[in-house]
Structure 1
Amino acid sequence: MTFFRTSILFLAFLTFACTTNHEKYTFEYAEPEDHGFSQSGLDSLSAFLEEKGSSSMILMVDEKIIFEWGNTEQVHTIHSIRKSMLNSIFGIAVHDGLIDTNATISELGIDDIHGLTDGEKSARVADLLKSRSGVYHSAAAVSEGMLRGKPERNSKEPGSHYYYNNWDFNVLGYILEEKTGESIFELYNEQIAKPLGMHHFDGRYESFDADTIQNESDFELPLTSGFYQYERSKSKYPAYHFRMSAKDMALYGQLYLNKGKWNGSQIISKSWIEESTKPHSIYNERFGLAYGMLWSVLAPTENRSGGSFYHTGTGVHMLGVYPSSNMVLVHRVDTEKEYTFTGNDLLTMIDLVFEAKL
C-alpha cells in the first residue's frame, strides 16, 4: 500500500511539473536613445503614469525593453483584450483544419436560451470573428456602453453590419472548445504561453455564475490565469477572462509583430495574422478606427499609412503592435481594485509615447 501511494504521489508530482515548468523568456533591455526614443520624453511619460494611477507599462522596440514602469509582473484581468488572446489559438485551430470559418452557426448546432431565428443561424464563423454576426441575443459580460449601441434582434443581416458584440466573442470561445476538446486556457498555455516562455500564465482556471452573486462588494474574482463568467439568465455561453502580467502580454505582442514566428517556428500562420489585422469594419472614418478579426486596427488615413493594431480593455488597458516602429506597447491599470485612470488618460498616454520619439 505504501509503495502504491508513493507511486501515485510521484506520478501526480511528475504531471504537475510537466504542465507547469517551462523555460522562461529572458528579456533584453536597451537604452531608449539607441532605439529612437528620448529619455526626457519617457520621463514625462513616467510622471504622467504616476499621476494618473497606472499599474504598469512596457515599451519593447526591436525586441528589447526600452521603457518599463511599475510592477510589470503583477497579474490582473485584461478585460476585452481577451479577444486578441483568443485570436491566436483560434487561428491555430483553423490552420489545423479543426474549424471551417465558412461554416454557419446552424451547421455547428449553435442556439441559445431565448432561441435563434433561421436568419441568425445563417451567420458564419467568419462573421463572428469580425463581430458582424447580426445575432443580438443577450450575452455574458456586456457593459452598459455596449448595450447602448446594440441593434434590435433580427434588424441586420449576418455579415452586413459591425457591432462590437460579446455574444459573437463568447460563442467563438465555445466553438473552439467544442472542436478541440480542451479549455481555452489550457490551449493557450500549451500553444502560446509555454512556447513563448511566458513568466506568469499557467493555464489554471475557475468559473462562476454572476447571477448567483448576492453582494458584489463581498465577491472576489478568481486569482487564476483564467476564469469563465457565466450569466445563465442571459446566455448559455460564458465570457472567458484572462489574467496576465504586462511582461507576458508584451511577449504576445512581439509574437504578432514577428508575424507569428518564434525561435524559428511558425506558431501562428502569417496569413491568419494578416487577415486578422485588416480593417474589415471601419467604424470611425475620421480617425481611421476599424475592427479586424478579434483585433482593433488603425486604417490608413491622410496622415498615416496604417498597419498598426491593438486591443483595449475597459478603456484603460492596452496591447498595441506598431510594425512601422517595430514596437510593442503594453499599458495596465489594476482594475481589480478602485482606480482613477480614464479613457482620455489612455489617449494622452499614447500621445506621450509618440512625442518621446526622436
Structure 2
Amino acid sequence: MNQEKIKELENLITRDYSNIAGIIVQKNGTKLYENYFNKYTRDNAIHVYSVTKSVFSALIGIAIGKGYIKNVDQKVLDFFPYYDIKPGEKTIQDITIKNLLTMTAPYKYKTEPYEKFFTSQNPIQDALDLLGGDKAIGEFNYSAIGGTHILSGILARATGQTVLEFAAKHLFSPLDIHVTHNVVLSNKEEYFAVMNDKNTSGWVVDPQGINTASWGLFLTAEEMTKIGQLYLDGGKYNGKQIIPAEWIGESTKVHSRWGELSYGYLWWVIDDKKHIYAALGDGGNVIYINTNKKMVVSAASLFMPEAKDRIELIKEHIEPVFEN
C-alpha cells in the first residue's frame, strides 16, 4: 500500500471533504482502509439521509421473497383499502410499488412540500393525498420524502410488523447491525439537534409510529459497508441468503432516467455497463459498489449544504489508490 498516496488522500479529505466522519474501503471482502474524522469513531452512528432509501429497498425485496408482498406490480392502493379516492381521480389507482421504487409516480405538486411532511401528524395519509393527479405515470419524478414513505406504510401493513421489527429480524440482526430503537422527533429543533449528534442512533418514526423510509436511519460506516458488501455478494452473508439474488440484480439495473442520471429500485446506477451503483444521501453519505472491481466504499458524513460530489472523490481519488 502506498502510504504517500494515502496521506495525500487524507489531506484531500480534510481540505475539500471536511464533513466526512468515517470512510471505509473494502475489496474482495477485505478491508483495505478505515479512518475517522471530526472526532468520530467507528462506534458513532451517522444520520445517512437518503441512503435510508436504498436500505429500505432491500426490505421490500426481502418482503417479496418471503411472500408478504406479491411483486412490484401490486397497486399501491391494494394496501390502503380504506383510502377515499377523490371524485374524478383515476391516476392513483394505477400506481404500483414499482413506480414508487423507480421514482416514476406522479404527484399533485410542482415542488415537494417538505415542511408539510415534517409537521404532519399522518404523513402517509398526506403523501397518498398528493399522489397521482393529471401527470403521466412512468416519467422520472424524484420524491425525496413522501413517495418512499408510502412504501414504509405498505411494508408495515403487508407484514403486520413495525418496519424496525421486520428490518431487525431479517436484515440488521443477521448482519450484526445495531439499529435497536426508534427516534421520536417532536419539532424542528429536535430534528436539527440530532442530525449531527454523535450520540444518536436508531431510526426515526413518524407520529403514527412508522419508521421513515426516505431518511432517518442512523448507521456507522462499518454498517454501511456491510450493506454494500451484502449487495456485492448477491445478497449472501456468511453463507445465508439475506436478500434474494434476483432482487439485487433487478434493483441495481436501470429502470428510469433523469437526464444523465440513472435509477434502479431506490439505488442510483452510476455506470450500468460496468455495474457500478450507489446509495446516496445528503451531505455526501454514500455506499458505493463497483461490481467488476469487487470494491465497496462507504463514507459517513455530517450534514452540510452542497457537499462536494462523493462519486468524483471515489472514482478519481480513492479507487486509483486501492484498486491494485
Q: If the length of structure 1 is used for normalisation, what is the TM-score?
A: 0.73
1:260 to partner: Cα distance: 0.4
Query: Cα–Cα, structure 1 residues 255 and 349, in superposed 2: closer, same or farther, change >3 Å?
Result: closer
- Answering whether residue 87 of structure 2 is matched by residue 121 of structure 1, we say no
Structure 1 partner of 2:218:
243
* Distance across 2 between alignment mates of 1:104 and 1:277: 22
Equivalent of residue 294 in structure 2, options 299, 307, 326: 326
Aligned to 2:127: none
Aligned residues: 294
TM-score (norm 2): 0.80
Question: Equivalent of 1:196, from 165, 175, 183?
Answer: 175
Equivalent residues in 2 for 1:1-358 (5 A)? 33=1, 38-51=2-15, 52-53=17-18, 54-70=20-36, 71-100=41-70, 101-109=72-80, 117-136=89-108, 138=113, 140=117, 154-158=133-137, 160-165=138-143, 166-198=145-177, 201-210=178-187, 213=188, 215=189, 219-220=193-194, 223-229=200-206, 239-240=212-213, 241-285=216-260, 289-300=261-272, 305-335=273-303, 339=304, 342-344=307-309, 347-356=312-321, 357-358=323-324
Contact 1:135 1:167 in 2 (8 A): no
- CA shift, 1:219, in A, is 4.7
Name the aligned partner's letter for residue 189 of structure 1. Answer: A
Question: 1:23: which partner in 2?
Answer: none
Is the Cα–Cα contact under 8 Å of residues 224 and 298 in structure 2 kept in the other structure? yes
Deviations 1:93-125 (A, max 9, x none): 111111132221232226879969321232011
Partner of 1:5: none
Instruction: State the superposition RMSD in angstroms.
Output: 3.0
In 2, the alpha carbon distance for the partners of 1:332 and 1:313 equals 9
Moved over 6 A (4+): 110-114
Structure 2: 5+ residue runs without aligned partners?
A: 120-129
Deviations 1:77-107 (A, max 9, x none): 0100001111122111111111132221232
How many Å separate the matches in 1 of 2:205 and 2:210?
9
Q: Residue 74 and residue 156 in structure 1: after superposition, are their counterparts in 2 closer, same or farther (change >3 A)?
A: same
Per-residue deviation at 1:64? 1.1
Displacement of 1:192 in angstroms is 1.4
CA distance in 1, matches of 2:149, 2:47: 17
Contact 2:203 2:212 (C-alpha < 8 Å) held by counterparts: no
Distance in 1 between residues matched to 2:95 and 2:35, nearest whole Å = 44
Change (3 A) 1:40 1:162: same
Shift of 1:220: 4.3
Q: Distance in 1 between matches of 2:275 and 2:191?
A: 42
Gaps of 5+ in 1: 1-32, 143-150
State the shift of 1:209 in Å.
Answer: 4.4
Give the partner amino acid of 2:252.
Answer: T
Counterpart-to-counterpart distance in 2, 1:108 and 1:99: 10
1 CA distance for matches of 2:219 and 2:73? Answer: 32
Q: 1:239 to 1:194 in 2, by over 3 A?
A: closer
